[in-house]
Amino acid sequence: MWLADCHVHSHHSIDGRRQVHDYCRAALAAGLTGITFTEHYDLNPAAEGFDHLDFARYAQEVEAARREFAGRLEIGLGLELGEPHLYREAIETFLSGKSGEEVDFLLGSVHWVGKEALHLEFGQHCSGQEAYQDYFTEVLLAVRAGNFHVLAHLDLLKRYLDHAYPLEAERFREIITAILQETIARGIGLEVNTSGIRQGLGDTLPGLTILRWYRDLGGEIVTLGSDAHRPEDVGADLSTGLATLEAAGFNRFGHYHHGQVRMHPIVYT
């Protein structure tokens, strides 16, 4: 079946390893038909990846890989925008210098709440429940800005807090519903990020409950990504992501090309 990993970081991200070419080889070895790179684009001066991306070099490397893997692998050029709602103008300026065909895919992510990055000690000054509430509030603000295609890892904070405060989605149903309604109203998709499975959470981000809510509210656009930071993880647990989507009632998933979504059926052979 047609399947792409739509969340991948190469060395063009501060925390990625190896070259674009190495990830493309890994994608073919994993039986994928496509891969979309989503290098970090962080404008928060306190973020580790601030000012790391050299877009021209990144685009050149993707172009070279497209020539090398032509006819065998569809290679997308994307960006993972950190807190896009806080840097609207700078992002618009950055993107306005690029043609519509140059950037295939924009993920919107919240990795920071105020001056605090998400990490294991996030929200120490308050309860876990308050920390989740603060996080989802920031995600809602990001979605309201609407300047990206797909919301990445909606419940990312559970990656850090789950050991002490497992996320009980039902307790945050009101704000999560507001986030989902906003994405649907704006035509923003929802990512199923499978990194949680290999990182010990044993669950996708977001998990089945939130995906069901999204479906029940009328959400249709879902994308799949491993959030690989090394070639070995390309395509990791996408099959579990597909099974989770099916369990939530989806029979299709999306993929972005030149900023436009294409839907593909979930089929098992």
Q: Shortest gap between Cβ of 176 and Zn ion (angstroms)?
A: 18
Residue with the two structure tokens 């090309």: 257
Q: Which stretch binds Zn ion (CB under 5 A): 23-31, 103-111, 128-136, 160-168?
A: 103-111
Reported as type and span, the H/E element at residue 253 is strand 252-257
Closest separation between CB of residue 152 and Zn ion, Å? Answer: 5
Shortest reach from residue 195's CB to Zn ion, in Å: 8
Q: Which is nearer to Zn ion, 204 or 218 (CB)?
A: 204
The minimum distance between CB 29 and Zn ion, in angstroms, equals 21
Which residue of 109, 223, 226, 240 would you call a contact of Zn ion, by CB under 5 A? 109
**261, 250 Cβ separation under 8 angstroms:** no
User: How many amino acids of this chain bind Zn ion (CB under 5 A)?
Assistant: 3
Q: Report the candidate in 56, 72, 80 with the shortest Cα–Cα distance to residue 7.
A: 80
Cβ atoms of 206 and 192 within 8 Å: the answer is yes
- Span of 93-101, 104-112, 124-132, 172-180 interacting with Zn ion by CB under 5 A: 104-112
> What binding mask, one character per residue, do residues 52-91 give for Zn ion by CB under 5 A, x or -?
----------------------------x-----------
CB of 161 to Zn ion, least distance (A): 16
* Interatomic CA distance for residues 151 and 82, integer angstroms: 11
Residue 138 in contact with Zn ion, rule: CB under 5 A? no
Q: CB count, 10 Å around CB of 81?
A: 26
DSSP string, 30-83: TT-SEEEEEEEE---TTSTTTT---HHHHHHHHHHHHHHTTTT-EEEEEEEEES
Structure tokens at 47: 């973020």
Q: Supply the minimum distance, in Å, between the C-beta of residue 10 and Zn ion.
A: 11
* 227 near Zn ion (CB under 5 A): yes
Positions touching Zn ion (CB under 5 A) are 80, 109, 227
